[in-house]
Amino acid sequence: MGGHLFIINGDLTKVACDALLIPTDSGCKIEDHWLGFVESRGYAKPDSWKLDDVFLSASDKTPHIWLGNIGQPTSSADFEAFAPTARAFISQAKAQLAGVNDDKRIYSWPKKRLAVNVVGSGAGGSVGMKGNLTLGLVQTLTESATTHDVDIVLVTWGEKAYAAAQRARRQVIGAEVANAWQFDSRTNSGLLREAQTLAEAAKKSHLVLFIGAGVSTGVGLPTWDRLLSEAANEAGFDSKQIPLLAKQDLRDQATLIDRRMRALNGGPIDGYSRFKADIAAKLSATQPYSLAHGLLASLPSKEAVTTNFDVLFEQACKIANADIAVLPENPRATDDRWLLKLHGSVDDPDRMVLTRSDYLEMPRRYGALMGLVQGLLMLRKMVFIGYALSDEDFHELVDEVRAARAGATDIVRGTVLSLTEDPLHKQLWDTDLDVVPMIVDGFNKDDPEEIALASRELDLFLDLVGYLSTTSASFFLDDTYSDLAAGEKDLRDSLIKLRASMQTFEPGPVAGLVDEFLKNLGATGV
């Protein structure tokens, strides 16, 4: 089984991967939006420069950076002008990564993970041929992922480029969806059907994402056990006390550690918490977001809820002019897209929900807001990602859902995406949720390699949901994307004629609606 091409809408410099390609030109000019990133990695102009890629830098736990010469003296270069650079990056990056041990990588993904943007679509020389460029790039990356047995992440910037990339993938794979997503032999055979179900909900904006800690594990964030163990040592618990402390509920461990640290600092019991500040600092140290964050942020979903403290999902949502409102602290208008952080955020450590008393205060702190969320849960399809079915956080969230639905029967069932199958857990939640495991046969939950494999299967599944749920055609009437109109050329020509005829009509309510419709399809000058 070869590698896979993933497509997300995001920021190339913030995606967790093993290596990425930064575009430049024959003079090795770095555009402003890349410059700060490469300068932070010790950028210096190479002595020699050609079309092939030049390796820039590598540090432990960060992506290797390659520079690719994709400059062209025209704005209408064909993809074949860029193909050698893309292919060279993939082969050379893979060869160099072969000598890198897993403990030096951000995460021990089962396959080496490379990332590229839509090379040449900006100042690279194909700004007038984006359709041809995108189609050729998706074709080449799909083939290269299989040939070189690597996973490749194509990172677009903005809704139009993302929709175009998904349209290009549709043309490349045709009707062979099952063949394009090569799951492991032990994977749940019903994943395609489940992906179609979630995609239909997403297309209607009826999907609410519940994001747990598992989504952040793919970027090397420390586990709660590790965080609490380190904090206990810093608080002065001795070798006899630490094993006893570890047997306590996580919330009680946090309470005891917080009290000990406050006592050491001589501060008031309800004042500044060094414990929370330290936890926030450690969780803030991780910069790149996971592929799963990027895949979730790319879905056409307006609402999300998380118990995570990190800001990685928020970072993944900051694409072009898009953003997300973070509730309850920052309810600004962002195209109606919001994220409710039930346990607080690293941006405000003192309000993070960690200790037993913090949990007990939650109903008072979020009572009114949870009433709003409960109302939404009556009408939405919930999907839980990154939660272990035994997590207390998960139990509490589901209990909120039960309270919201109050025994109603005519409701949409929620879905839990789990890494592995557990028949007893499935029975436990059968009255509330559909449990969809990734791996259903012979899974060893204590083996890190098995966990990494199952996590990749989840990434594949989310990529499939993203593909199936993409209905935007915001590129369709953009002349630079005309090569993606295969099979619908007559329709496109008719709409272009309609766009031209709009210039002769008097402004009015219907004309305004048609104008908006055409603009949503990428028309300009309407």
What's the number of CA atoms in the CB half-sphere (13 Å) around residue 473? 15
For 190-249, where are the alpha helices, taking DSSP H only? 191-203, 224-235, 241-246
Of residues 118, 124, 126, the one with CA closest to residue 154: 118
How far, in Å, are 379, 398, 430, 431 from residue 409 at the CA level?
12, 16, 14, 10
CA 281 to chain centre: 22
Average pLDDT of the segment spanning 402-417: 73
**What pLDDT score was predicted for residue 20?**
94
Cα radius of gyration rounded to whole Å, the chain: 25
- Cβ atoms of 216 and 386 within 8 Å: the answer is yes
Q: What is the pLDDT of residues 61-99, one digit of tens each?
A: 889 999 887 766 566 677 888 888 899 999 999 999 998
- Cβ atoms of 294 and 197 within 8 Å: the answer is no
Tokens of 10: 């995001």
Top-confidence range, 20-34, 74-88, 362-376, 429-443 = 429-443
Helices 130-148, 83-97: axis angle to 10 degrees equals 30
- Which strand ranges, in their side-by-side order, compose the sheet holding 325-327? 325-327, 338-341, 303-306, 207-211, 381-385, 414-420, 433-439
- Which strand ranges, in their side-by-side order, compose the sheet holding 151-156? 5-9, 151-156, 113-117, 19-24, 64-69, 54-57
Residues, the chain = 526
CA distance 176 to 467: 13
CA distance 257 to 235: 6
Top-confidence range, 27-36, 143-152, 197-206, 432-441 = 143-152
CA distance 128 to 394: 49
Amino acid in position 360? L
Of residues 265, 301, 507, 511, the one with CA closest to residue 385: 301
**What pLDDT score was predicted for residue 131?**
85
CA distance 383 to 381: 7
Q: Which CATH number fits domain 200-221+288-469: 3.80.30.20, 3.40.605.10, 3.40.50.1220, 3.90.1150.10?
A: 3.40.50.1220
**What pLDDT score was predicted for residue 192?**
93
**What pLDDT score was predicted for residue 331?**
66
**What pLDDT score was predicted for residue 269?**
60
Q: What is the pLDDT of residues 267-316, one digit of tens each?
A: 666 668 899 999 999 998 777 999 999 999 999 998 999 989 999 999 99
Task: Name the residue ranges covered by the structural domains of the chain.
Answer: 4-185, 200-221+288-469, 224-284, 487-521
Angle at 520 between CA 517 and CA 521, to 5 degrees: 95
Q: What is the pLDDT of residues 240-275, one digit of tens each?
A: 999 999 999 999 999 999 999 988 876 666 668 899
CA distance 426 to 390: 11
CA distance 238 to 277: 22
**Per DSSP, what are the bridge partners of residue 208?**
303, 382
Q: What percentage of the chain has pLDDT greater than the value 70? A: 89
**What pLDDT score was predicted for residue 162?**
94
The least confident of 1-10, 126-135, 444-453 is 126-135
| Maximum CA extent, the chain | 84
CA distance 474 to 151: 27
**What pLDDT score was predicted for residue 388?**
78
Looking at per-residue pLDDT, the higher value among 243 and 512 belongs to 243
The least confident of 6-10, 94-98, 377-381 is 377-381
Q: Is the pLDDT of residue 52 over 70?
A: no
Q: Which CATH number fits domain 4-185: 2.20.70.10, 2.30.40.10, 3.40.50.700, 3.40.220.10?
A: 3.40.220.10
Mean pLDDT score of the chain, rounded to an integer? 85
Q: Is the pLDDT of residue 526 over 60?
A: no
Q: Is the pLDDT of residue 121 over 80?
A: no
